[in-house]
Amino acid sequence: MRNIKNFEALWWGLFSAGGVVAAFLVPIHIILSGLGAPLGWLEDSPQVYQLWPVRLYLFVLIALPLFHCAHRIYHTLPEIGLKVISKPLAVLCYGGSLVGTLVTVWVVASL
Amino acid sequence: MINRPDKAKLYYPHMPATWWLRKRSYFMFMLREFTSVFIAIYLVVFLISLYRLGQSEAAYAAFVDGLRSPGWLAFHWVALLFAIYHSVTWFLSSAVVLSLRLGTWEAPRWLVAGAHIGGWLVVSVAILILYTVL
């Protein structure tokens, strides 16, 4: 547990990098994959996801913002009364983003 | 060795869980933090769609078809609003953190924020074009 806390600079760095990626890239991807593809606004071409540079891009698009979200959620929930479970929250949030990163590597590699 | 005060003797103000409902600025702060929940859920759903694509194109098509339900569409509309709120607040705070200087001249905050927002729009249009062309 102490180790998780001691990685503070790393978590803040990933938070920042993920915040930038989320700010620049996530809104257009919600429009493309969350609204455009299901509603048929544009021709969905998932084959593009199988190109290797695009796979690398997808990894950055998903993994870094996951760390950003984990850091924000971890620092916000104790502010609204969940301070007593701050340590399990750290494991859940940062552990979740680490697992999410590994799953992302596996998914984009097997596309 | 630094002499630190005894932690047990320090004063910790006790905030009620609803402190962020007291002022509009507190509420907007909490709303900004809350954007991360929607962004995280969106990313997980997107990741599942990629997993389905890895299985087969038919599985992917069936998954995307499921996203046409009113619940998922409402979620993505709300997530889009939250994501835009994250982008705008992120760029505005970047303008406070980043100080761009040329000699003695320092770029005003509105210029730094404006450049970020302009760059964001250019990147978004570029991705849209690439997605339709590739």
Q: Tell me the ipTM for this assembly.
A: 0.91
A99 reaches B (C-beta below 8 A): no
pLDDT tens string A14-45: 999 999 999 999 999 999 999 999 999 988 87
Query: What per-residue confidence (pLDDT) applies to B26?
Result: 93
pLDDT tens string A82-99: 877 888 888 999 999 999
Confidence of residue A55 (pLDDT cuts 50, 70, 90): very high
Nearest to A49 by CA among B69, B72, B52: B52
Query: What per-residue confidence (pLDDT) applies to B91?
Result: 96
Residues in A closer than 8 angstroms to B77, CB to CB, are: 35
Q: What are the DSSP calls for chain A, one per residue?
A: -HHHHHTHHHHHHHHHHHHHHHHHHHHHHIIIIIIIHHHTSS---GGGGGSHHHHHHHHHHHHHHHHHHHHHHHHHGGGGTTGGGHHHHHHHHHHHHHHHHHHHHHHHHT-
Q: Which residues contact B25 (CB under 8 A, 6 or more apart)?
A: none
A108 reaches B (C-beta below 8 A): yes
Percent of chain B's residues with pLDDT above 70: 99
* C-alpha–C-alpha distance, residues B25 and B20, integer Å: 8
Nearest to B134 among A38, A48, A76 (CB): A48
Decide if B123 and A25 are in contact by the 8 Å CB cutoff: yes
Q: What is the DSSP letter of B1?
A: -
Query: What per-residue confidence (pLDDT) applies to B65?
Result: 95
Q: What are the structural domain ranges in chain B?
A: 36-133
Tell me which chain B residue has its CA closest to the CA of residue A42: B132
Nearest to A46 among B40, B57, B124 (CB): B57
Decide if B36 and A42 are in contact by the 8 Å CB cutoff: no
Tell me which chain A residue has its CA closest to the CA of residue B125: A28
- Rounded to an integer, the average pLDDT of A42-56 is 87
Res. A5: pLDDT tops 70:
no
pLDDT tens string B38-49: 999 999 999 999
Percent of chain B's residues with pLDDT above 90: 73
pLDDT tens string B72-102: 999 999 999 999 999 999 999 999 988 888 8
Query: What per-residue confidence (pLDDT) applies to A98?
Result: 96
Query: What per-residue confidence (pLDDT) applies to A86?
Result: 81
State the CB neighbour count (10 A cutoff) for residue B95.
Answer: 21
CATH number for the segment(s) A2-109 = 1.20.1300.10
Nearest to A26 among B68, B83, B128 (CB): B83
Q: What are the structural domain ranges in chain A?
A: 2-109
Domain B36-133 indexed as CATH 1.20.1300.10: yes
Decide if A69 and B79 are in contact by the 8 Å CB cutoff: no
Confidence of residue B50 (pLDDT cuts 50, 70, 90): very high
Nearest to B49 by CA among A76, A77, A32: A32
Three-class secondary structure of residue B106 per DSSP:
strand
Q: Would you give the distance in Å from CA A68 to the centre of its chain?
A: 7
The pair of three-digit structure tokens given for residue B74, joined into one six-digit string:
């409402």
Contact in structure between A55 and A108 (CB atoms under 8 Å) = yes
* C-alpha–C-alpha distance, residues B52 and A45, integer Å: 14
Q: Interior CA angle at A40 toward A37 and A42, to 5°?
A: 75
Res. A3: pLDDT tops 80:
no
